[in-house]
Structure 1
Amino acid sequence: MIENVAILKNITILYAEDEAALREITLNILKGFTKKQLVAENGAQGLELFKEHESEIDIIITDVNMPIMNGLEMIREIKKINPNIPIIVATAFSNTEYLLEAIDIGVDKYVLKPIDMKKLLQLMSQSLLYHELKDLYVDNLTHLPNRNKLKKDLEITEQGLMAMINIDKFSTINDLFGETNGDKVLIEFADSLRKFFNKEDFRIYRIEADKFLVVANEFNTDVQDLYELCKSFENYIEEDPVYIDEHEIDLNITIGIAKSENANAYKYAQRVVSYARRKFEPILIYDDSFNIQESFEENIKWIKKIKNGVKNDNFRGYFQPIVNTQTKEVYKYEALIRYIEDDGTVVSPFQFLDIAKKAKLYPNIIKIMINEAFNLIIKKAKRVAVNISFEDIASDNTMSYIYSVIEENKEHAHLLEFEILESEEISDFSEVFKFIEKVKSYGCNVGVDDFGAGYSNFNMLVNLKISYVKIDGSLIKNIDSSENQKIIVKTITEFAKRFGFATVAEFVSSEEIYNQIKEIGVDYCQGYYFDAPLSFDQIN
């Protein structure tokens, strides 16, 4: 029984042997134990095969005496490329003098001819200690060096010029075509990288599922030259779809380029590719003027402040009046979150809300807002609207908390309203329907917020059984000078009246805008023309 033979089933071997009969016999046996076999009839062929398939070859078996280039000459050249590749030499007893030379050039295992196949397979299994180590540094799917190898390589020098390449929304490809096809896309993508960025000038790594890194071998390579090469690659990828079986798959990529003399290139490349995605730029070169470092430090600061603020009661609800357009009398208030610094400074949600959402801290804030809203409802008998997102509605934890608070205060719940943030993120309308039904059973009104901001679904307004729609401020703030915006607002208002729900205009900041809104017939107004958001104590 051969020990550890199962370990051979996933390996690729390079086998060089000039004697046809022996080659055929040995190869047929190896096919039964190994995944893939690359076969050469002489050392020159073997060297070329190694150069072509270096990233996937796990072990080499070679004869010594071969024409054109013998086995030892081939080994010398291969060791220059990869000094760690395991090599087994097959030699006749009469040629054992070659063994000293073989040992000298780094061959530590040999098998005598005629080959004892049991012995050969045992030697191959032993040699795969290297294969196990290689797995630590090589991505199994693409056969590119992985993140571990990158970290090791970055320790060698502080200087670096690199481009991080991110496949946009790769998870969508897995969702649409399946992970098997997704893997094939990644293999094709890695092959395209190899073609564009030759190994004489660049090293390529796969560092995450959909993220690759191209590192220049020469630090003095011009950044602009790398940019132009990346631009050509981006054009190639985005103009030519990947074909997997019968599927045509379009890819988009984002590239961040960075250069640094003090070990910061990788960090900068990570940051600039994220920055480029936020700016919808396909390629960006890192520049200190982006203030990316300061941005990250600000994020870290606010994550800590949000966590501590939830514990220490730094968050407060502020309430902006929403008035009847015809009478200008306050009808209700929209609850808006504020962070109160220890010195009393009031901080706008612009500073922290997006960070809270990305850091998965927002559920804490929506819970605070529900409590703040009921505080105003109960103590001052005011009608209050609270914003709620689809993510909130889809969260069992968040909804369980909201329903429990409403149940505890159900005699006041008729004064609580919810404004669903209108967004293409709504992926399951059944959840939204259930939410509306549930809160309406307590007497709560439900509206749609930010309607008309880029993504607008009139069908959603009809089917959700809402009470009102709030027209996005981007359509309101210039309505006194933009005829197009006026037409859009008028269309939304007429649509709402036809289907029986009210309209609210936000960002009403001047008398001119107010007059336009009144003329169109919008039911309610909100904005600094009437009042800024007020603290609890400022509301009578």
Structure 2
Amino acid sequence: MEENEILLPNRKEFLKDLESEVFNKLVIFDISGFGNINHYYGYSFGEKILKLISLRLEDKFIGSKIYYLGADVFAAASCFELSKDRFIQSIKSIIWYFGYTPIELDEYKVYIPLRAGVAINYNELVFSAEFALKQTRVLKHNLVIYDSEQHHINHPNSSSIKEDLYWETQIIQAIKKDKFEIFAQSISNQTDKKYEVLVRMKDEKGKIVSPYFFLERAKKLNLYSEITKKIVQKSFEFFDSKNIEFSINLSISDILEKDVVDYIIQKIYEFDIGHLLTIEITESEGIDNLEEVISFIRIVKSLGVKIAIDDFGTGYSNFSYLVTLQADFIKLDGSIIQDLNKSKTAKAVVEAIVFFAQKVGIKTVAEFVSSKEIFNICKELDIDYFQGYYFDEPKNVKELKLK
């Protein structure tokens, strides 16, 4: 056996396994520009790199079977037991990991940009994943996902197709014609006021559309990251030189998208705005890829950015990772805040969170403060900042009266 031989199952075993129909999820990885590595460093070096890539994939991709399909192509297949959300998050984590963590070999550091085509719940998994991989070049994106439940390819009579096609057209046109608007809502205490940036979209008639109608659909279309970039650009432009702190929302999906991270870091440098910026990470989405998230946080914190954990207090709220993620703020989930005047349990939960936050030096923010009664309870509980309709509703930033 040669030293650099890749020990992963090969294409023949891959096709045999797929025939058994135990898998319903498949990703095919292709290394962008691998030919350049062979030409520059030599084919022997390239073989060593492929071996190290196979070892990394085995180490990072849990719950799936990894294959080497030849040349610079790898695949991972997963069975029904692994949820598709976890499968997709693992793929994004791997793309992020390879893009930011170079392989060090023979005194060289080599970065491995990956493209990935994903197919979920299709009868022809290989064909669908290969087609998705080809689309990465067409769409100039490193990840394309085809999910039969979302794309309705096998359900031409679905009653939801007309609505999906309508919103798909609206989202694509909004991106092409820059029809996204930034709104803002204040976050304040006795002395300070800052703002959370919120996204809205204009439809074909110029009407403002709630994110409820387009954000999840944008994720299905793999266009969510494009919206994130537009919001980053517009919010940075607006708050540039205003010396007012503001926050933007990033999902775990955003943080695991290498091109989104690159874009945000570039814009922080370009506008020199890190000292004014807070990034809110949605806690309820789950953080399975702590290593990548922590790496991102370290990078932006070195640029002066603060970190807030959004919607804390619901789901699987975990106090320990608040410290691990170096959180500066905890945003208390609005559903708990709204119940403060009705539920002793809600009040006890908030008291526990505030007590912990004060001990470790994290500031707290109450969301959805909708009445004077709730506001007074929040003050009694010693919460630091307040946000909600009792103070103001989200407004287009053009309408803000800033000193």
Same fold (TM over 0.5): yes
1:53-132 correspondence runs (5 A) = none
Cross-structure match for 1:464: 325
CA contact (8 A) 2:283 2:312 kept: yes
514, 519, 537: which is aligned to 2:375? 514
Cross-structure match for 1:377: 239
1:137-286 correspondence runs (5 A) = 140-141=19-20, 176=63, 178=65, 208=123, 267=155
CA contact (8 A) 1:387 1:419 kept: yes
Q: Which runs of 5+ in 2 are unaligned?
A: 1-17, 23-60, 68-76, 82-120, 126-148
Deviation at 1:388, TM superposition (A): 0.8
Counterpart CA distance in 1 for 2:79 and 2:325 is 41
* DSSP 3-state at the match of 1:208: coil
1:314 maps onto 2:179 in alignment: yes
CA contact (8 A) 1:353 1:362 kept: yes
395, 403, 408: which is aligned to 2:270? 408
Deviation at 1:379, TM superposition (A): 5.3
Q: Which has the higher contact order (CA 8 A, sep 6+)?
A: 2
CA contact (8 A) 2:365 2:385 kept: yes
Deviation at 1:376, TM superposition (A): 2.4
CA contact (8 A) 1:141 1:183 kept: no
CA contact (8 A) 1:424 1:455 kept: no
1:452 maps onto 2:313 in alignment: yes
AA matched with 2:292: E
Cross-structure match for 2:255: 393
Render the CA deviation track for 1:312-349: whole Å, top value 9, x for unaligned: 1110110010111xx2x552100100012354421111
CA contact (8 A) 1:382 1:415 kept: yes
CA contact (8 A) 1:416 1:445 kept: yes
Counterpart CA distance in 1 for 2:270 and 2:79 is 54
Cross-structure match for 2:359: 498
Deviation at 1:267, TM superposition (A): 3.4
Counterpart CA distance in 1 for 2:373 and 2:209 is 29
Counterpart CA distance in 1 for 2:293 and 2:172 is 29
Indicate the structure (1 or 2) with the bigger Cα radius of gyration.
1
CA contact (8 A) 2:252 2:285 kept: no
Counterpart CA distance in 1 for 2:80 and 2:215 is 36
Deviation at 1:209, TM superposition (A): 7.6
Render the CA deviation track for 1:114-154: whole Å, top value 9, x for unaligned: xxxxxxxxxxxxxxxxxxxxxxxxx94369xxxxxxxxxxx
Q: 1:403 to 1:479 in 2, by over 3 A?
A: same
Counterpart CA distance in 2 for 1:495 and 1:488 is 11
Cross-structure match for 2:84: none
AA matched with 2:172: K
1:333 maps onto 2:195 in alignment: yes
CA contact (8 A) 1:373 1:416 kept: no
Counterpart CA distance in 2 for 1:332 and 1:177 is 44
CA contact (8 A) 2:182 2:199 kept: yes
CA contact (8 A) 1:376 1:382 kept: no
Cross-structure match for 1:348: 210
Cross-structure match for 1:297: 162
Q: 1:177 to 1:465 in 2, by over 3 A?
A: closer
Render the CA deviation track for 1:513-535: whole Å, top value 9, x for unaligned: 11111111110011111101111
Counterpart CA distance in 2 for 1:177 and 1:435 is 26
CA RMSD of aligned residues (A): 3.0
Cross-structure match for 1:79: none
Give TM-score, length-normalised by structure 1.
0.47
CA contact (8 A) 1:320 1:334 kept: yes
* DSSP 3-state at the match of 2:395: coil
AA matched with 1:476: I
Q: 1:141 to 1:383 in 2, by over 3 A?
A: same
CA contact (8 A) 2:199 2:211 kept: yes
Counterpart CA distance in 2 for 1:467 and 1:344 is 38
AA matched with 2:155: K
Render the CA deviation track for 1:175-221: whole Å, top value 9, x for unaligned: 547589x99999xxxxxxxxxxxxxxxxxxx97389xxxxxxxxxxx
Q: 1:301 to 1:495 in 2, by over 3 A?
A: same
AA matched with 1:535: N
Counterpart CA distance in 2 for 1:184 and 1:299 is 28
Counterpart CA distance in 2 for 1:426 and 1:178 is 23
Counterpart CA distance in 2 for 1:393 and 1:442 is 16
Counterpart CA distance in 2 for 1:538 and 1:461 is 35
Counterpart CA distance in 1 for 2:277 and 2:178 is 22
Runs of 4+ aligned structure 1 residues displaced above 4 Å come to: 177-180, 182-186
Cross-structure match for 2:9: none
Q: 1:483 to 1:320 in 2, by over 3 A?
A: same
Cross-structure match for 2:300: 439
AA matched with 2:252: F
1:359 maps onto 2:221 in alignment: yes
Give TM-score, length-normalised by structure 2.
0.62
